[in-house]
Chain A
């Protein structure tokens, strides 16, 4: 995202960094407003009558009218949008039509599951993807480079939900190495008290190793799946960043000085790609949140992706829009975060 076009022109009274910060904050605000406006419009054009959805088909006309007024549907669209903004600012996404509970509560309940899955996924992606990319760059053209290339190409071309199904078939159905769908086996549901909502952490806090092992056997397959997809991206980017560094003159100098290849690669070249790498990782973390939608469905993982989809299929409008806004906001925040990191840590971007 090009957040600002700071060319150092304009009113000279403000120091440049204040101007940059103001512009950044302004553009974040505009982007978020835009996101909310889009979801608002989607909610308005939905072929579902929000009043009927609440009162039911057999309600009298007077009940219908009362709810119609209560929802503010008689007001102009822009006023309705302002009401919507006000509600969202107070984390009020309305109530779910399915269980009549506040959508924000539901989201708070399901979100840790997605967070746990995506975080483990990105950890796997980093641990495997970064070394793979570095080695592929150092040994350009070798068999490792070829393997890395094929892995990435397959990752870009593979439907994630299908790979998940195949994983379930092979590692659960045939080999029996991992737990099946869901977060824990049926005997371990609600055994440990939910403190953080992250079941692996909760099990550790409780000191319950059986639950930890069971939860781990359930999460490892979907997390590896997400890890593979982020690996495809991270390893390619790492490779091209490293190639750029390795062709620089300071690397030649270091080699001429007689420095060991390990030190050249890891102490010099790799040090210089850390900032770029962090932004790439932040971006793929944001993408994992999205990729987890389909993965969660395959693995019956009770996260935000499953939540949105279930709500969608039962026409639960508030839940769909609430979930979309939350995922969208996190996505934007991660994007901004990676942008900021780049500015803060890369002296050239200051």
Chain B
């Protein structure tokens, strides 16, 4: 009974407060999102990934770092090692489970840094206009014109290999599209009447940007970030594969593929399993991103 009324309260046409209206809009978005099966599958995979990462010590059957040279390269389905073992006898399943933490760590950091930088550059550029706009957008264009992986490679070369530097390098190559989006949004918002009204009330540029423009840029940025996540994961895995990301013995998935590459013809599972993990997670992000785009930004859909 209580649930029914909550649902009615959420779906009302006459919200009683701003918070009520906001919650109602959120709930309706969720309802339309929920009807998208593929997006729900993506969301399910990602929730599972987060849970796996959190509960890694409980879930993993072995220590991901302990070597057991007597049990090297055991095949799939071996007793006690469902996904087999790698060249140092470490349990692949346990390493995959701990690797989920690294993947989430990288994705979360990049998803925090790149859109925020893009939002800053884009809104300042769009709101200020004039030569600030020209200079900032020219810089954005230059970064946009660079091939991303090669730029990331060069950055990592300059900063030194490692997971934090890989995150930095990927963020440095990932922010320009966000700046473009934020600028475009700002340009349309800037000239609207309510901004003029706020300005007449005496609001300064800082207040207008942070309180009135940023909130309106968020939804298109979220969609873009979700769609970019797959690319971020693939880039991080690529850097890891090249030996420029997470360093051994860290169970980063890309680095695991690189380790398994040497035995690909005789012991195929060592490289195959982490690849399937990367594929699953980036597929999940793509599915989720498509679903979110349909809900938050119906114009951009096909």
Listed in ascending order, the chain A residues whose CB lies under 8 Å from chain B are 1-2, 27, 30-31, 34-35, 38-39, 42-43, 45-47, 153-154, 156-163, 165-166, 168-169, 173, 240, 243, 286-287, 289-291, 293-294, 297-298, 308-309, 312-313, 317, 320-321, 323-324, 327-328, 331-332, 335
Contacts and interface: CB of A to CB of B under 8 A. Distances in A.
Given A158-B279, A165-B264, A313 B153 contact: no
Interface in B237-269: 237-238, 241-244, 254, 257, 261, 264-265, 268
Contact of A159 (B144, B156, B238, B302): B238
Given A38-B146, A312-B156, 18 more contacts: A1-B144, A27-B138, A31-B145, A42-B155, A43-B158, A157-B285, A159-B257, A159-B275, A159-B278, A159-B282, A160-B234, A287-B147, A290-B150, A293-B150, A312-B242, A324-B150, A327-B147, A331-B146
Given A156-B230, A157-B279, A159-B254, A332 B154 contact: no
A47 B159 CA distance: 7
A305 B75 CA distance: 33
B302 A243 contact: yes
Contact of A331 (B147, B154, B272, B275): B147
B142 interface: yes
B271 interface: yes
User: What does DSSP make chain B's interface, helix, strand, loop or mixed?
Assistant: helix
3 nearest CB pairs, A to B: A34-B142, A162-B275, A157-B283
A165 B275 contact: yes
Contacts of B156: 312
B157 A46 contact: yes
- The size bracket of the interface on B is 35 or more
Contacts of A290: 147-150
Given A46-B158, A159-B237, A293-B153, A165 B257 contact: yes
Contacts of B302: 240, 243
B56 interface: no
A99 B20 CA distance: 70
B8 interface: no
B132 interface: no
A39 B154 contact: yes
A294 B241 CA distance: 9
B279 A159 contact: yes
Interface of B: 138-139, 141-151, 153-160, 230, 234, 237-238, 241-244, 254, 257, 261, 264-265, 268, 271-272, 275, 278-279, 282-283, 285-287, 302
22 contacts: A1-B144, A1-B145, A34-B138, A35-B146, A156-B282, A158-B282, A159-B234, A159-B238, A159-B275, A162-B278, A162-B279, A163-B275, A165-B261, A243-B302, A290-B150, A294-B241, A308-B153, A312-B244, A313-B243, A324-B154, A327-B150, A328-B145
A134 to B, nearest CB: 15
Q: Which of B138, B157, B244 has the most CB of A within 10 A?
A: B157
Q: Which of A165, A173, A291, A331 has the most CB of B within 10 A?
A: A165
Nearest to A39: B154
B79 to A, nearest CB: 25
Contact of A309 (B146, B242, B257, B271): B242
A326 to B, nearest CB: 10
B174 to A, nearest CB: 14
A246 B143 CA distance: 36
A159 B261 CA distance: 14
Nearest to A236: B302
Contact of A166 (B138, B275, B286): B275
Contact of A289 (B147, B158, B230): B147
